[in-house]
A and B are shown apart, each in its own frame.
Chain A
Amino acid sequence: MPRLVINGLEARYGSLKVLDGIDLDVASGDVVGLIGPSGSGKSTILRTLVGLTPPAAGSVEIDGEHIDYAKPGDVRRLRDRLAIVFQQYNLFQNMTVLQNVMIAPTKIKKRAAAEVREEAVRLLAKVGLADKLDRYPDELSGGQQQRVAIARALALRPEILLLDEVTAALDPELVSEVLDTIRVLAREGMTMLIVSHEMGFIREVSKEVVFMDAGRVVERGTPAKIFDAPEEARTRDFVSKILRH
């Protein structure tokens, strides 16, 4: 059974319809890659899913439970199961690396500090930052900050991890360290919905690729289908432009 089912999702910024009836599902353990031109609504899907942008219509189900975004209780339960990593990392500037990872599990989920600390240190070691525990975000490179953000998301023990263009703000030489971290998660069976412009990476880690344009899903399928034999003209056009350079 699919873990996350989205039906007819719509979202607006003022009068602009940024999502125009999105249907999408993500099965447990799968990695789904969302691609498409800028402004096609990829990031908005993730923001809408975690309740940062209220949906105008449509339904979202997670493990069979329908989420009503107008109900704070529903949104809270949903956020217990999802974690999002942002393009701009969004680390808390007033906290050290370790505090950033520990704050939500200890203060919001009320787990024991000693246990959380152990897990946080383990996660930070996993993303290669065991020696940066007491640094502040502005003392780290973009790639390091983004890996802290991934560790922070994992510390929430999410069922589904949403990655919103997590390498888009990074210098080119820092991209691979973040992608390597995500590859490890994919191999471990983490369910992920990934928005990215790194086509090679999307092709490699995704089980399914979804191509979006103008707030709609244009085409979806295996990476081989989308990248090598797209059916829609719009997909073909996008893929050829992206792969040409």
Chain B
Amino acid sequence: MWERLIEEAPRFFGYYNLVFLGKAALATVALSALGCIIGIVLGSLVALLRLTTRLPLAPLRWIAALYTEIFRRVPFLVTLMLVFFAFQLSKVDLPMFWVAAVSVTLIASAFLAEIVRAGFESVHRNQWDAAAAMNFGLLDTVRYVVLPQAWRIILPPAFGFFVLFIKDTALASQIGVIELTFAGKVLNNKGFSAVLVFGTILVAYFLVSWPLSRLGKHLEQRLASPRHQRP
């Protein structure tokens, strides 16, 4: 086996393959980044919505709850197919990459909404009471009081989710998005040995997700204590 790998390697790591793999890695990074960044924003909004108490917002609260409960339970592949066919039915001609991006964002937002909500709920009731009694609205309460205390609870599961999530973007290959896993299949079909191809893909995934874990650790340590932060 080794002779074959050594013989294949120079051809495999040729210019065109590297460009191909680089582009695929970029697609994986882009899908993951979109999911994580838009996901944390939308997820926070959903979590916030679920904290509102005013009666007119009740339907929105209900939708927010339903959304998190459904999309956390549906397999990624099913969501992907659903979004894919929804776009087909509505005759919106969107590149596959964006169909995948919408799917990953839907999923990530639902999971992150739940992680953020758990973080909010970890902050003691008396902090909310004090803020409410001093006329803080919901947004001010979250911004000045709750979020600075909830970060420490939110970060570890959020980054844990990000890492899992990077792997899940591989499913986008099912609808033909050229990301890392898809690129691996293509190169394998071209005749390169599976060990070489998927070994390289493995390293590429690792290189994408390892820095993210480090960033998570770094942020956790920086926010380890509620002290030394200015509101």
Which A residues touch B140, using CB under 8 A? Answer: 107-108
Q: Which interface residue of B54, B129, B140 has the most chain A CB atoms within 10 A?
A: B129
CA distance A229 to B136 in the complex (A): 44
Question: Does A79 belong to the interface (CB within 8 Å)?
Answer: yes
B132 pairs with A51, CB closer than 8 A: yes
Q: Let me know if B144 and A103 touch, CB within 8 A.
A: yes
Instruction: Tell me whether B134 and A72 are in contact (CB under 8 A).
Output: no
B88 adjacent to chain A (CB < 8 Å): no
- Number of contacts between A and B (CB, 8 Å)? 60
Stretch from B20-28, B213-221, B223-231 at the A interface? B223-231
A52 close to B133 (CB less than 8 A): yes
Size category of the binding interface on chain B: 20 to 34
Scoring A residues 208 to 236 as 1 if CB is less than 8 Å from chain B, else 0, what string do you get?
A: 00000000000000000000000000000
Question: Does B126 interact with chain A (Cβ within 8 Å)?
Answer: yes
Whether B130 and A91, one on each chain, are in contact in the complex, defined by CB atoms closer than 8 angstroms, is: yes
Bitwise interface map of A from 57 to 101 toward B, beta carbon under 8 Å scored 1, else 0: 000000000000000100010011011101010111111000100
**Chain A residues whose CB sits within 8 angstroms of the CB of B129 once the complex forms:** 52, 86, 90
Report yes or no: A95 in contact with B127, Cβ–Cβ below 8 A.
no
A109 to B140, CA, bound (A): 12
Whether, in the assembled complex, B90 has its beta carbon less than 8 Å from a beta carbon of chain A, the answer is: no
Report chain B residues within 8 Å CB of A83. Answer: 133-134
- Complex Cα distance, B229 from A95, in Å, reads 8
Q: Does residue B145 face the partner (Cβ distance < 8 Å to A)?
A: yes
Cβ B135 vs Cβ A104 within 8 A: yes
Assembly CA distance A219 to B35 (angstroms): 63
Q: When chains A and B are docked, how far (Å) is the Cα of A135 from the Cα of B106? A: 43
Q: Which B residues lie within 8 Å of A99 (CB)?
A: 230-231
Kindly state whether residue B103 has any CB partner on chain A within 8 Å: no
A139 CA to B226 CA, complexed, in Å = 12
- CB-based contact A93/B127 at 8 Å: yes
Contact of A72 among B54, B136, B227 (CB under 8 A): B54
- Contact bitstring A132-144, B, C-beta under 8 A = 1, else 0: 0000100000000
- CB-CB under 8 A from B157, the residues of chain A are none
| Shortest distance between the CB of B56 and any CB in chain A (Å) | 11
**Is A190 among interface residues, defined by CB-CB distance under 8 A?**
no
Residue of B nearest to A92 (CB): B145
Residue of A88, A108, A136 touching B134 (CB-CB under 8 A): A108
Question: Would you give 19 A-B contacts (Cβ < 8 Å), ordered by A?
Answer: A51-B133, A52-B129, A82-B133, A86-B126, A86-B130, A88-B126, A90-B126, A90-B127, A92-B130, A93-B127, A99-B230, A99-B231, A104-B134, A107-B140, A109-B135, A136-B226, A136-B227, A152-B134, A156-B134
In the A-B complex, the 3 residue pairs with the closest CB atoms = A90-B130, A94-B148, A104-B134
